[in-house]
Amino acid sequence: MRRLLTCALVTLALAAPASAQLDNVGKLTFPTSASPAAQQHFLRGVAILHSFGWKQAIEEFQLAQKAQPDFALAYWGETLCYNHPLNSQMDPKEPRAVLARLGASRTARAAKAPTDREKGFLNAVEELWGDGDSAKRRIAYMDAMERLYKQFPADDEVKTFYALSILSASSAVDDRTARMNVKAGALAMEVFKRNPNHPGATHYIIHAFDDPIHAPLALEAAKVYAAIVPSVSHAVHMPTHIFIQHGMWNEVANQNIRAFNVGKQLWQPGDVPGDMSHSGDWGQYGFLQLGDYAGARERIQAFEWMVETTKNPRASSALALVRARYIIETEEWKVQPVADTASNETILANGFSAVKTGDMATAAKMEALLAAKAKAAPGSADTSNPHADHGAAPKPAAAPAPGGSDAGKGVRIMHKELAAQIALAQGQADQAIQLLREAVQIEESMRPPNGAADPVKPSHELLGEVLLQAGKPAEAAEAFEASLLRMPNRARSLMGAVRAHAAAGHKDLAAERYATLNSFWKGKPVSSPTTEAR
């Protein structure tokens, strides 16, 4: 048997040109039976795999296979690079092909794993890529990893991959209590305490606690993860899942620019621009909350480049979103020609612009388009009874329940928001307020917000603005506070809260919200509470 190698990986740089951009990938210990040459590539592959840098990790695992063709864990690692472990569907085709390269049968492959620990890792992916549907295979994988964990409870890599298997299986069992996420996060935290630069521990803590209730538990890990894996786009972006829930707008904006640029450097023709799209979207949201509208416009230009370069529908959809969001957040109203097939956000932004510029004919047309989309959306019975809730209680975890119980609610909220704006413009303030209270009720039946505002105009915030305009500042203040509880430090909710509290005579609260806003706001100066009260 080859001697076991215990290798610590700390900013490991390889001579291979294809990997030169990966200056550092964190620190981990993963003893195996590999030769020194294979182990070096293997360790780097595992570290990058922990950060979901699929393409880069595949390259390292294949280099390990080349260095040692019968090294079972090099094939084990590669099988985990072809599917996102937190997505609901996992295609086993490519992983099965990788396993077939190692050996023609499960028995033949197991014979190439010389230790019980290596056999355990290999057995787990045999379950993951075996027979059955995706949900059953993910549960079987988690069960296999649990057995391995019980066999090697002090092994950090076993524990970390077990934690990820729990996160992967949580949606398969429809865990609406979030207990599985918390269990996974607790396991990852044990590793984090011993090795704060572990790329998997820090990463999975973020995924485990990526919801408004648990996000504070992940802030320390997010700050560490933001620095330890600078050359994997997903890793650079992921800390902002926690930063955004703390209203840390400078970090959200700038960290996502870095993530976008890393994704841009790695992009090749034919790639889906997923990492670029997601980080660019959130980055623009960060700039808008800062009041840095020039920075937000630059993000739109980056999306325009992405659409032209990738020719990918996802890029086009993302561009439509960031353009619409810019109009709604900046209130730079502009009526434009809009196709009936335009995105919901585009129609909403055009409808708001039409109301604000007095083009009520266009506003009515946009309202009709959203009404039709709301009627056709899943769960459309909500449109006839705005107080109905056909989904179960919202899940305070990282992903919505299977089946998408929130599907269709966003467009129904947007329809009510535009209808309310039209009603207010026509002097029907009570009708506008009623419509927005219905929108709020729908939004509160959805998963708690854990990213950029969705819908793009939060209904609590718009309700506060309309109540303030209707001369009801105390009620408006309550609505703005509800919005801020859901989305800390959201700029327009803070602006509204300053005005509402000042008008309602809540001097201390007005001053507090004003100080918070001014701690990060870089845009046009906002009137002080004293000015607002006069």
For residue 127, being part of any structural domain is answered with yes
* 199 in the same domain as 121: yes
**Mean pLDDT value across the chain:** 89
* 167 in the same domain as 33: yes
Top-confidence range, 2-6, 261-265, 456-460: 456-460
Closest C-alpha to 279, from 452, 448, 450: 452
For residue 171, being part of any structural domain is answered with yes
Q: What is the CATH number of the domain that holds 125?
A: 1.25.40
Banded pLDDT at 532 (limits 50, 70, 90):
low
How far apart, in whole angstroms, are the C-alpha atoms of residue 320 and residue 300? 9
Number of domains, the chain: 2
* 310 in the same domain as 251: yes
For residue 371, being part of any structural domain is answered with no
Inter-CA distances, 56 with 82, 199, 274, 280, 281, Å = 12, 15, 15, 21, 24
Predicted confidence at residue 267, as pLDDT, reads: 83
Residue with tokens 């959306």: 377
Percent of the chain at pLDDT > 90 equals: 79
CA-based R_g, the chain, Å: 25
For residue 361, being part of any structural domain is answered with no
pLDDT greater than 90 at residue 437: yes
Model pTM score:
0.88
For residue 133, being part of any structural domain is answered with yes
How far apart, in whole angstroms, are the C-alpha atoms of residue 153 and residue 500? 55
Residue with tokens 């506070």: 481
- What is the tens place of the pLDDT at every residue in 155-179? 999 999 999 999 999 988 877 788 9
Phi-psi region of 291 (alpha: psi -120 to 50; beta: other; left: phi over 0): left
How far apart, in whole angstroms, are the C-alpha atoms of residue 327 and residue 305? 20
pLDDT greater than 80 at residue 233: yes
pLDDT greater than 50 at residue 10: no
* 104 in the same domain as 234: yes
Inter-CA distances, 481 with 467, 489, 504, 513, Å = 13, 10, 14, 10
How far apart, in whole angstroms, are the C-alpha atoms of residue 519 and residue 430? 35
- What is the tens place of the pLDDT at every residue in 462-485? 999 999 999 999 999 999 999 999
By the 10 Å C-beta count (0-12 exposed, 13-18 middle, 19+ buried), 3 is classed as exposed
Predicted confidence at residue 274, as pLDDT, reads: 74
Predicted confidence at residue 125, as pLDDT, reads: 98
* 233 in the same domain as 261: no
Banded pLDDT at 404 (limits 50, 70, 90):
very low
* 89 in the same domain as 231: yes
Average pLDDT of 515-523?
Answer: 97
* 84 in the same domain as 188: yes
For residue 520, being part of any structural domain is answered with no
* 221 in the same domain as 146: yes
Banded pLDDT at 534 (limits 50, 70, 90):
low
Predicted confidence at residue 405, as pLDDT, reads: 60
Predicted confidence at residue 397, as pLDDT, reads: 34
For residue 412, being part of any structural domain is answered with no
Banded pLDDT at 269 (limits 50, 70, 90):
confident
Average pLDDT of 233-252?
Answer: 96
Last-in-domain residue among 278, 300, 332: 332
C-beta of residue 407 within 8 angstroms of C-beta of residue 377: yes
Predicted confidence at residue 23, as pLDDT, reads: 52
Last-in-domain residue among 238, 267, 294: 238
- What is the tens place of the pLDDT at every residue in 409-427? 999 999 999 999 999 999 9
For residue 390, being part of any structural domain is answered with no
Question: How are the residues of the chain apportioned to helix, strand and coil, as percentages rounded to the nearest 5?
Answer: 65, 0, 35
C-beta of residue 417 within 8 angstroms of C-beta of residue 459: yes
Last-in-domain residue among 332, 347, 367: 332
* 123 in the same domain as 188: yes
- Our separate counts of H helices and E strands in the chain read 27, 0
* 97 in the same domain as 170: yes
- What is the tens place of the pLDDT at every residue in 67-126? 999 999 999 999 999 999 998 788 999 999 999 999 999 999 999 999 999 999 999 999
pLDDT greater than 70 at residue 307: yes
Banded pLDDT at 231 (limits 50, 70, 90):
confident
Banded pLDDT at 181 (limits 50, 70, 90):
very high
* 142 in the same domain as 30: yes
* 282 in the same domain as 223: no
Q: Give the domain extent around 259.
A: 246-332
